[in-house]
Structure 1
Amino acid sequence: MKFIVTTQRGLENTVVNLLKEKYKKDFKFETSPDGFHGVVIIEGDEDIKEKLLEIPEVERVLKVDFEVEPKFESIVNMAEKIKDFIKEDESFAIETKKRGEHDFNSIDVNRVLGAKIKDLTNASVDLIYPDKVVYVEIFKNRAYICIEGRDEFKNRKYTKEKENARKLFKRVVIVQLPYLGEKKVCRKFGEAIGRAAQGFEVKELIIAPKEKVNAFELMEFIKGVQIGQKSRHEIQKRAYPFKVKEVPISVQDMYQVFREKKRKNRLIIVTDPKGEDINKIKDKLAKDMRGKREIIVFCGSREGIPRGILRLADYVIDLAPHMTFATEHAIPSALIALWSVYNEKRE
């Protein structure tokens, strides 16, 4: 029986040596097949998989169900055999990992093989939470097909049992006091804030000076925000099985933002060490967050949010009493804390 074992680059021999200690039977192995690191191909009895999974350096173990030539037609024609592993009432997905140069790409395999399996089984395709996953592992001169159940960790990201955090964050507007000063530092902090706002996919990020500021310092900060946002968005496009939009970013005077947002069905929250311990108000805060159309969160930078806004806000909360967060940590800290309160008290 053949298994494809994946590990972190450089740990292939470590896995083999540890397996020799744990598994007292003979087995064959090939580290870094065709020069591709992070992979060990192992041949042994079926019980070897259990021993492999006891090794923390092992990332994944796939049992090989079929071995074929690394040719497009050879791979997609395996649908006739793969169909026996998938029931009509199950969902499935195809994941192709291609190593080396071939006259086809992974997307072609996913698309055509998936369509053939769907026609043969009448099973549904589910890219987020499939019952079965067909792994197509392609090397230079060989290809393996492995049919497995749900991935223990990967599919856990999007389980229906978890409440989707976007339910909260799509209603959150971040009002960020810009970090101004030395230009390189302005850009650095801007990048961190842009990444954070995009990472949480908030409804909007408003960069809000509270007074007249240096135009060039503000320009550097905004450039940083744009760079941070773009870099995070590129990662999201590759990582998520669904489309992610760029967060809208605007510039507006802080007091004007406050006036516009201070109206019915909006909740204004300021994070500040002068505020109340979030743990003492979490029940009421959770209820208010669930009932409001929009949640506006004001975050400071080198300076705090003006006292007049603190006085008129719905909530001024201290996220970590006796501690002060760095500017680049304000958004993640605030949103993680709000999500924890929101999710803990869900009805």
Structure 2
Amino acid sequence: MKFLIKTQRGMEAVAGNYIKEALEDSKVWISPQGYSGLILVETDDKNAKEKILEIPEVERVIEVLHEVPAKIEDILNVAEDLAKFINEGETFAVKTKRRGKHDFTSVDVNVQLGAKIKELTNAEVDLSFPDKAILVEIIGDKAYISVVGKEEWKKYTPEKTDARKLFKKVSIVQMPYWGDYKACRNFGEKIGRAAQAFEVKELIIAPKEKIDGYELMEFLRGVKIGQESRYQIQREAYPWKIEKVPVYVWDLYQVIRDKRRNKRLLIITDPKGHTLAEVKDELAKDMYYAKEVVVFIGSREGIPRGLFRFADYVVDLAPYMTFATEHGIPGALIALWTIYEEELRRRE
């Protein structure tokens, strides 16, 4: 039996040495052809996979079904055997990872091998959530081919509810941080990054009274820097189009007047409020029906107590604890999403 082992880059030597200890009579090639994060193992031990998976440095163990020259015609020659692993009614996908120089691309392999498997099995192709995945791992002049089932760990699956269902209708009303210019900018960066990370409907910076213009300017500069840094990461990481969160400045008291007048759901986060456990059922239901959910978050000082009576909910997210300013947005939105998801699942 031959296995292709994947590790974090730089951890292949550590994992390889542990594999040598666990499988004494095995042959182990660490970083084959100089490619980090990879290990090849050849062994007669029937329990090899289980033993390898006991090593924390190992991220994935792929049992190699075919080792062929890294040429498309040789890869296609094993299609008939690969087709035996795909049952009637199952979906499949071909996923190729190519390392080295070749006269073909990974897409060429995916298309040609996928077409042949489809012809042999009449199975449907599902590139997002296939029942079976045919892995073609090309390392230099060799191709290692395997068939695996559904991945245990995956970011996007049909079983997971998209959190943006809630966050797209959430407006964050954040009191600005004031004081030392450098601190203003640092806190602004963290708040801008957090608002963009959750892709909320809008971020409203809302001072409760007259504030030093230069301190506010530094805070807003920080918001812009933080938002931009997160936005660039999202553009590269996500398979969908990303928009920048709109950022506004508005007097705190006018925000609550306007949002209340337009019958939005108003939530104030404050240690004086009810615990989430006390109100979660009604709150989740109200968030489900709300056209817009407006979350008020303090900074240095909490939201003025006089506004509590205009809110639909005043919620203490972590009793006997006060969140740091930069933790307000993540703490509030993760807590609200948790109870909102429960409501969605209950309705489904």
2:91 maps to what in 1?
A: 91
Equivalent residue of 2:283, what SS?
helix
- The letter for the 2-side match of 1:203 is K
2:165 maps to what in 1?
A: 167
248, 252, 255: which one aligns with 2:249 = 252
Change (3 A) 1:244 1:115: farther
- The letter for the 2-side match of 1:206 is I
Q: State whether residues 207 and 249 of structure 1, in contact with CA within 8 Å, keep that contact through their aligned partners in structure 2.
A: no
1:9 maps to what in 2?
A: 9
1:193 maps to what in 2?
A: 191
1:277 maps to what in 2?
A: 275
Change (3 A) 1:282 1:194: same
Q: State whether residues 34 and 139 of structure 1, in contact with CA within 8 Å, keep that contact through their aligned partners in structure 2.
A: yes
Query: 1:309-341 CA distances to partner (integer Å, 9 max, x unpaired)?
Result: 233111111111121111111111101111222
Equivalent residue of 1:85, what SS?
coil
Change (3 A) 1:231 1:146: farther
- The letter for the 2-side match of 1:86 is I
Change (3 A) 1:61 1:163: same
Query: 1:198-230 CA distances to partner (integer Å, 9 max, x unpaired)?
Result: 222222222333344444433433333333333
- The letter for the 1-side match of 2:41 is I
Change (3 A) 1:61 1:70: same
Change (3 A) 1:261 1:116: farther
Q: State whether residues 234 and 242 of structure 2, in contact with CA within 8 Å, keep that contact through their aligned partners in structure 1.
A: no
Distance 1:334 1:343 in 2: 14
Shift of 1:174: 1.2
Distance 1:98 1:321 in 2: 52
37-46 or 62-71: which moved more? 62-71
2:134 maps to what in 1?
A: 134
1:158 maps to what in 2?
A: 156
Change (3 A) 1:67 1:188: farther
Distance 1:263 1:76 in 2: 66
Percent identity over the alignment? 59
Distance 2:204 2:79 in 1: 51
Structure 1, unaligned runs of 5 or more: none
Shift of 1:83: 3.9
Q: TM-score with structure 2 length normalisation? A: 0.85
Distance 1:336 1:209 in 2: 24
Shift of 1:177: 1.8
Q: State whether residues 205 and 247 of structure 1, in contact with CA within 8 Å, keep that contact through their aligned partners in structure 2.
A: no
- The letter for the 1-side match of 2:240 is K
Distance 2:325 2:5 in 1: 42
Distance 1:194 1:73 in 2: 52
Distance 2:84 2:182 in 1: 60
Distance 1:220 1:327 in 2: 16
- The letter for the 1-side match of 2:193 is R
1:207 maps to what in 2?
A: 205
Q: State whether residues 270 and 314 of structure 2, in contact with CA within 8 Å, keep that contact through their aligned partners in structure 1.
A: yes
Structure 2, unaligned runs of 5 or more: none
Q: State whether residues 197 and 247 of structure 1, in contact with CA within 8 Å, keep that contact through their aligned partners in structure 2.
A: no
Q: State whether residues 4 and 63 of structure 1, in contact with CA within 8 Å, keep that contact through their aligned partners in structure 2.
A: yes
Shift of 1:27: 1.3
Distance 1:103 1:184 in 2: 54
Alpha carbon RMSD of aligned pairs, Å? 2.8
Q: TM-score with structure 1 length normalisation? A: 0.86
Query: 1:7-57 CA distances to partner (integer Å, 9 max, x unpaired)?
Result: 223332333333344335x21110011222221100113531121112222
Change (3 A) 1:73 1:191: farther
Matched length = 343
Query: 1:133-152 CA distances to partner (integer Å, 9 max, x unpaired)?
Result: 22222223322222210111
- The letter for the 2-side match of 1:43 is E
Shift of 1:271: 0.8
292, 304, 307: which one aligns with 2:305 = 307
Q: Does 1:62 align with 2:86?
A: no
Q: Does 1:41 align with 2:40?
A: yes
Distance 1:119 1:226 in 2: 53
